[in-house]
Amino acid sequence: MITFYPGPSKVYPQVEQHISEAFASGLISSNHRSEGFMQLLEQTIADLKVKLDVPAGYEVYFVSSATECWEIIAQSLLIDSSLHIYNGAFGEKWMEYTHRISLRTSDASFGLNETLLMDRSAVFSRNELICVTHNETSNGTKVPEDFLLDIRKKVDNLIAVDATSSMAGVNLPWENADIWYASVQKCFGLPAGLAVMIVSPKAIERAIQVGERKHYNSLLFIRDNFLKFQTPFTPNILGIYLLGKVMQQVPAIKEVDKQTRRRAQEWYAFLLENGYALVAENTAVRSDTVIAVRETKERVAVLKKAAKNEGIVLGNGYGKEKETSFRIANFPAISDEEIAILKAFLVKMAPNGANE
């Protein structure tokens, strides 16, 4: 099956060989305090920072999932409250999860097709953590390019960013935020079970100020171990091994970014030319990595069934758009040949008369 599901999505074909090599190396059976694992962790972090162009002062940690990152942030970085800026299901879930832990959250939701702008009159409390969903996987939208920079210019608050479906797919403005996180089963082209968390010196200062060490995944506990290229608990060694191998094989993020954005523009033009409607009508907020297509509930069912019969997996809709949309992953591991196959299918299945 050719999968365009937006996570877990297609893994790079080279991963099959990497798994065999990992088994043969014996590393996946090694102790996570061993010299071999420590070298693996150090090299993987170094390769990731180079390929994704992460600033030198930012630290990289590996945890189990983006959902775990919600927990780490709520436990280890909150002082007063968190402000959650979102327009879709995953941003809302982040807020709800944080509220269950801290009881100190506020909502700054906005419309699906609204171009998000910094409110110049907005007042933030000094220690309020600003939480932004960079790319909303559920509805195929993104925040404008300059939004994080505008926040950074206005306030000195800590900024956390969910980049689950954009990290490793597009070039990210690292220095415009302090905590970035993503699971690897999307743009990284890897199996699920690992997440990347990237934090600034300013975020580390906050963690030290909070001083929280009550949990196995307290940020300071994680950091203490990663500074020695160890982990506080037995990690997903295979996942880390595969991440390192993929970081060695992929081009630099600036090249990946060009491909991702080119393909996104081509996807949007193609869909509109063939009579398909888009969930994100505002061109300024359309995601580069997750394409959300609006259809009737009946048409969604027909399209998904027909696609499956031809060996193609389309992504389900999600949240408020669950029954009236389908999603197409525009991730780096997907080949141009696979995209051409899906486009040929969509031309054949285009709304009546659109392709005549």
Residue-by-residue DSSP string for 251-286: PPHHHHHHHHHHHHHHHHHHHHHTT-EES--SGGGB
Return d(Cα 184, Cα 176) in angstroms, integer.
Answer: 22
Which amino acid appears at position 87 of this protein?
N
Nearest to 236 by CA among 184, 276, 187, 182: 184
Residues 6+ apart with CB under 8 A from 356: none
Work out the pLDDT band at 175, boundaries 50, 70, 90. very high
Choice between 76 and 104, residue whose per-residue pLDDT is larger? 76
- Whole-number pLDDT of residue 204: 98
Judge whether 146 and 118 are in contact, CB under 8 Å. no
What would the two tokens of residue 96 be? 């709800």
- Whole-number pLDDT of residue 341: 98
Pairing between β-strand 141-142 and β-strand 159-162 as defined by DSSP bridges: unpaired
Return d(Cα 159, Cα 150) in angstroms, integer.
Answer: 12
Judge whether 22 and 29 are in contact, CB under 8 Å. no
Judge whether 292 and 279 are in contact, CB under 8 Å. yes
Return d(Cα 284, Cα 113) in angstroms, integer.
Answer: 9
Choice between 116 and 302, residue whose per-residue pLDDT is larger? 302
- Count CB neighbours of 227 within 10 A: 9
Residues 6+ apart with CB under 8 A from 82: 73, 74, 95, 98, 102, 104, 105, 106, 128, 129, 130, 131, 160
Mean pLDDT of the chain: 94
What would the two tokens of residue 108 be? 């700054």
Confidence check: pLDDT of 266 > 90:
yes
Judge whether 85 and 132 are in contact, CB under 8 Å. yes
Give the tens place of pLDDT for each residue, 19-68: 999 999 999 898 889 999 999 999 999 999 999 999 999 999 999 999 99
Work out the pLDDT band at 118, boundaries 50, 70, 90. low
Nearest to 181 by CA among 160, 200, 205: 160
